[in-house]
Amino acid sequence: MDEFMQVAIDEARSGLNSGGIPIGSVLVRDDLIIGKGHNLRVQQDDPMAHAEISCLRDAGRVGSYRDSILYSTLMPCYLCAGAVVQFGIKKVIVGESRTFSGAREFMESHGVEVVDLDLDECVAMMDDFISKEPELWNEDIGK
Amino acid sequence: MDEFMQVAIDEARSGLNSGGIPIGSVLVRDDLIIGKGHNLRVQQDDPMAHAEISCLRDAGRVGSYRDSILYSTLMPCYLCAGAVVQFGIKKVIVGESRTFSGAREFMESHGVEVVDLDLDECVAMMDDFISKEPELWNEDIGK
């Protein structure tokens, strides 16, 4: 397992264990983690606190994102993909996109390299969550 | 002046007066303000706290956004436009797009109605800020 994706998965499980939506994210620069986070919609009543947004908030004002890689356990939605495009993150590595196809094409059309690890562990985590909490999941993706 | 845009402008000026970037936003449903906010990058060291994100965070978990209108003093960037598209906001009213063209086409390509009021007051506020704080402005839009 990619060590950084493992941290993102740990973030997702931490979010699940605190009553939230199991999606985690890590920002890496020069092989070091400079930010991490998980979805906090439930825990903070914050609809903008998708995992990637929480991660980028945690990283803070890092200057250029050009040499950063964003990891997420799930393919980013338009909100998070919008952050990637606006702030010039050039590479995104995701755990899976089978349970949610997200905004891959939008990112790629703006020159972002997107790598999908298609991990069974990430799929199982989301499948289980979505089957147990379909309304919460639909709320989180604006459906 | 549109009463809701006036509140967005007041938010922008409030942000400027607390040392921040003068962009404000308001979320309206059924002719009532259900959220408002301004850019908080400086005040909270939060690069994700664009005005529209702060506004949507302030509104909280409102359920469907289908009948909501998002006001912003400035054309939304990809981050904020991504939130609009993902959460199904159907109409965005902006103060101006002369100082920053933003992601209008992206929103329109996803069926969002975008109205640009092209207000001299909003242009002057941003022109003045950008001329005084060009580095901060470039940081805020990821340049």
* pTM: predicted TM-score of the whole model, two decimal places: 0.98
Predicted pLDDT at B1: 81
> Which pLDDT band, with edges at 50, 70 and 90, does A82 fall under?
very high
CATH of domain B3-141: 3.40.140.10
> Do residues B96 and B118 lie in contact, with contact meaning Cβ atoms separated by under 8 Å?
yes
Question: Taking residues B17-28, what's their average pLDDT?
Answer: 98
Q: How is residue B23 written in tokens?
A: 């962009």
Percentage of the residues of chain B whose pLDDT score is greater than 70: 100
Question: Taking residues B113-129, what's their average pLDDT?
Answer: 98
End-to-end CA distance of chain B: 32
Contact list in B for residue A48 (CB cut-off 8 A) is: 48, 53, 56-57, 83
Annotated domain spans of chain B: 3-141
The residues near A39 (Cβ < 8 Å, ≥ 6 apart) are A12, A15, A20, A21, A22, A23, A24, A49, A50, A51, A54, A140
B52 is an active site residue: yes
For residue A138, the 8-state DSSP code is H
Q: Is B20 within 8 Å of chain A by CB?
A: no
- What distance in Å separates residue B38's CA from the closest CA in chain A? 15
Asked whether the predicted pLDDT for residue A8 surpasses 90, the reply is yes
* pLDDT single digits (tens) B42-88: 999 999 999 999 999 999 999 999 999 999 999 999 999 999 999 99
Residue length, chain A?
A: 143
